[in-house]
Chain A
Amino acid sequence: MPRSLVELQNLTYRFRRKDDPVLEDISFSLEEGTFNILVGPGGSGKSTLCRILDGRIPHLLKGDLTGEILLEGRSALELEMKDISCSVGSVFQDPETMFATLTVEDEIAFGPENLLRERKKIREDVQKLLDLTGIGPYRQNLVWNLSGGQIQKLGLASVLAMEPKLIILDEPTANLDPASTSQVHELILSLRKQGMTVLLVTRELDEFLAEADQLLVLDGGKLLYRGEPYGILAGKGDDLESRGIWLPETVEIGLELRRRGFPVEAIPIRVGEALALIDKLNLVSRETVLTGSEAPGWDETAPPLIEGRGIRYSYGAGLYALKGVDLTVRPGEMLAIVGRNGAGKSTLAKMLIGLNRCREGSLILFGKDSRKWKVPDLANHISLVFQNPEHQFLTDTVAEEIDYSLQSRGVNDPEAMAGARERMLEQLGLSGESERHPFTLSAGNKRRLGVATMLVGDPRVLIVDEPTYGQDREMTRTLMTLLRDIRDRGIAVVMISHDMRLVSEYADRVVVMSEGLKQFDGNPTELFDKAEILESASLEPTLLFQILKALGERGVTCRGNIPSTGAFIKLLLREEESHG
């Protein structure tokens, strides 16, 4: 019988001077050696719950906490922080802010040094963890020179070094490139195999959901469901979907088929399970032809807004971030630029907005040589929404942010400005927030304000860096619908993303960057069929594409672009005529 490592009983927590609880009447336990996943939409209280489990609340952050937290049978409220830190290890959302030293090996040693462990043991443990996480070659590196994936691995190694009984991982792969995400996923699964008790907060459930012993679903500060994942999906899957929780495409297919009256007993999680369900329901045969859209959604003959030929860019020392890239962007298309970190995506984006000068090759922006543009003038035609929208804010209210952008585009008439501002706030759903300080908005609204400030000048190209960063499924859908509307108005939307599912669902065209070169330029479905390109750029095909590929291997003909599970089901059930 597994022993309960952590037990929460009727836990309620309010921040100081707040009436509404951020967590309400939460009860669950984490058994020793189990793998637990915590999910919930943005603002549901996941991070607060992690802070309670690792002792930061109430030991470091006060508030009104009632109920009981038992850590190995002892009340965590009566334990000191230093005692809790020996049992519970927490890897923060941004592990870089956890680091207290300068080099990789010092960082791993930091915790055990505080625990007064012997030097010899610490050295041995550091070596073991360097090997486990695969960051041994970087042991002497400065922590701020590590890549995103290496930072996550170091964060995990630093916590594992203290030999905790429970590891909490709060969104460990948010904003990592696919290659790093895959490595971190492997590492987490290896911990699970080693019998470590893990609580993972993540929206990337594809690889984990089937492995979990317990799924915890939080929304509005309440624990809605807890239990074995297949059971929860069978009973409450539709509810999870409606609450804006990201679910694997396999699950979406199972839920949608069930909603349409098919007898689906178990909701599939793995690709093999989804295929077995499709077989069982006799939805395909060797004669089936699934033909998605083959015509591009934009005018391929329209004069290009951006035309680059043989673009090269060096940051110095003869190292080229771009080694001869051709790129064309036309009005009304949604283009995704993908690739691992350091592939040249950001360098290219900075070149398009004028922050990097194109000195080698040719780059024509809106009919004029890029070298002849000044950054502020170019900003009237092309805009970039930064990953962290806070970096772009310049004023003290939402309304003033819009006004600033209008003024910078030459709109100074108060009436014209007020009209344009109101229209933009309404369009972006920010009307009720106009007097708030931009920094106090929710993550989703900050992102929308970032888009709004860039849209007011009617740019012809809008670049969005990582649209899904910090967003739950519902926020992402809202934002992507907005970007689609923008595209439909004839504006070219360029998104830089690591999220292959987003690329598959929304992009008309995808450009793959690798080692400073363009490796692919075409539609997402074609990309997923190019195994060598996916491998060289360390990209993972979506679960939907894996299903399509497996169906193809069984004799089903899959053609054109099938971007989403919705489109797939329609084709599968012959609800939509095949295109082309």
Chain B
Amino acid sequence: MAEHNLSYKERGSALNRVYPLVKLIWVFLIAVGLFLFTRPLSGLAVFLLVLALALIPGKIRPGEIIRSGLVVFGLGFLLMIFHFLIDPGETVWSFGILHVSDYGLQQGPVFFFRLSGVVLASFILIWTTDTRDLMQSLVKAGMPYRYAYTIFLALRFLPLIQREVESVRAAHAIRGRAAGTTLKHRFVLWQRYVFTILINGLRKAENTADALECRAFGYAPERTYVKQITFRKRDMVLIIFTLILEAGLITAERLA
């Protein structure tokens, strides 16, 4: 059976061992930082930090990052080009009717790193965290387990959806190409991908919800956890280092 890129895997990595809630807070901090930055260099620095964390303490292979992130990085790139061309400011280059502004040149990469950084950080959370541990860490932090489970059951669905997308794509490919523009055809296919995946996703979700009830989920306000997770103070290094870096970058932006 095919291995799915966007799913948890025990790699024996340092990030695998970090307390799940710490990783969740870290993703949040990365997102906040990237939305506060106004200069491309700050975004680049945080994006490189996230990438380095994925590769070294996360032990995630570059191929996995590229395969899973290709669509989002591509979208980020298009977003960057879009900002180059539509943002106001002094024209730096002109190509016929297209004008690249100085403000666009600055904002484009900011948006690229914003999107790519947040998504990659989220991927790290998915790749290195057992959903169950994440849920348990939220319960330990005081969240009722029914809510904690419901939120993170979505992560359980990602591989199923990924498989569904692959099947639908293969099935559509052999239907051939109807007359009309390629763009129109692609739009029709895209619509159908979404529809088919949504319908089948909803059916699966309904089944899963029923199955949870059939397996006594919510039987009592508390539940047993066979596996225990423990918070280690040194896990906080991830948050502290990120906070210091982001605070430094924000300060540098203000002073510049």
Name A residues whose Cβ lies closer than 8 Å to a Cβ of B: 54-56, 59-61, 81-82, 85-86, 89-90, 92, 94, 96-103, 106, 109-119, 122-123, 126, 140, 142, 144-147, 158-159, 162, 315, 342, 350, 353-355, 375-376, 379-380, 383-384, 386, 388, 390-395, 404-405, 407-410, 412, 439, 453, 457
Contacts and interface: CB of A to CB of B under 8 A. Distances in A.
A408 B178 contact: yes
B161 to A, nearest CB: 11
A379 B208 contact: no
Q: Which 6 A-B pairs have the closest CB atoms?
A: A408-B176, A98-B211, A97-B207, A391-B171, A407-B178, A114-B216
B26 to A, nearest CB: 21
A382 to B, nearest CB: 9
Interface in B130-187: 130-132, 149, 153, 156, 159-160, 163, 167-168, 170-180
Interface stretch (B33-41, B82-90, B222-230): B222-230
A453 B178 CA distance: 13
Given A115-B219, A404-B178, A100 B156 contact: yes
A410 B176 CA distance: 10
Which range contains the number of B residues in contact with the other chain?
35 or more
B223 A439 contact: no
Given A100-B149, A392-B175, A162 B215 contact: yes
B212 interface: yes
A405 B179 CA distance: 10
A106 B220 contact: no
Nearest to A96: B160
Given A159-B215, A439-B199, 20 more contacts: A54-B214, A56-B213, A56-B214, A60-B209, A61-B210, A81-B214, A82-B213, A82-B216, A100-B153, A102-B156, A109-B226, A113-B223, A113-B225, A115-B216, A144-B163, A379-B174, A380-B176, A383-B174, A391-B168, A408-B178
12 contacts: A81-B214, A82-B219, A92-B210, A96-B160, A101-B131, A102-B8, A112-B224, A116-B222, A145-B1, A388-B167, A392-B174, A408-B175
Contacts of A384: 174
B204 interface: yes
Contacts of A109: 226
B226 A386 contact: no
A551 B251 CA distance: 90
A355 B225 CA distance: 45
A82 B222 CA distance: 14
Given A102-B132, A114-B217, A394-B172, A119 B224 contact: yes
Given A379-B175, A391-B167, A117 B213 contact: no
Given A98-B207, A100-B153, A114 B223 contact: yes
Given A142-B7, A392-B172, A114 B218 contact: yes
Contacts of B172: 391-392, 394
Contacts of A404: 175, 178
A100 B189 CA distance: 31
A61 B204 CA distance: 15
Nearest to A377: B176
B9 A100 contact: no
A370 B225 CA distance: 55
Contacts of B211: 92, 97-100
Given A145-B1, A391-B196, A82 B218 contact: yes
B11 interface: no
Nearest to A412: B179
A144 B215 contact: no
A47 B108 CA distance: 54
B215 A158 contact: yes
Given A102-B8, A407-B179, A375 B173 contact: yes
Contact of B171 (A97, A110, A392): A392
Contacts of A410: 179
B219 to A, nearest CB: 4
B208 A97 contact: yes
Contacts of B175: 379, 392, 394, 404-405, 408, 453
A111 B172 CA distance: 39
B207 A394 contact: no
Contacts of B222: 116
A117 B223 CA distance: 8
A122 B218 contact: no
A114 B214 CA distance: 11
A90 B214 contact: yes
B97 interface: no
Nearest to B173: A375
A140 B9 CA distance: 10
Interface in B196-253: 196, 199-200, 204, 207-220, 222-227
A106 B132 contact: yes
Given A123-B226, A393-B196, A350 B160 contact: no
B130 A102 contact: yes
A100 B224 contact: no
Contacts of B171: 386, 391-392
Given A100-B208, A100-B211, A102-B132, A144 B7 contact: yes
Given A375-B174, A453-B175, A56 B132 contact: no
A353 B171 CA distance: 11
Given A118-B224, A408-B177, A59 B213 contact: yes
Nearest to B200: A390
Contacts of B163: 144
A420 B87 CA distance: 52
A390 B163 CA distance: 14
Nearest to B168: A391
Interface centre among A113, A142, A145, A386 (most CB of B within 10 A): A113
A411 to B, nearest CB: 9
B226 A390 contact: no
Given A92-B211, A97-B204, A122-B224, A142 B178 contact: no
A391 B131 CA distance: 29
B176 A457 contact: yes
B66 to A, nearest CB: 15
Contacts of A114: 215-220, 223
Interface in B42-99: none
A411 B8 CA distance: 47
Given A92-B207, A109-B226, A353 B174 contact: yes
Given A145-B3, A355-B170, A405-B175, A116 B208 contact: no
Contacts of A81: 213-214
Contacts of B180: 407
A82 B210 CA distance: 12
A162 B216 contact: yes
Nearest to A144: B159
A385 to B, nearest CB: 10
Contacts of A123: 226
B210 to A, nearest CB: 5
B132 A101 contact: yes
A394 B192 contact: yes
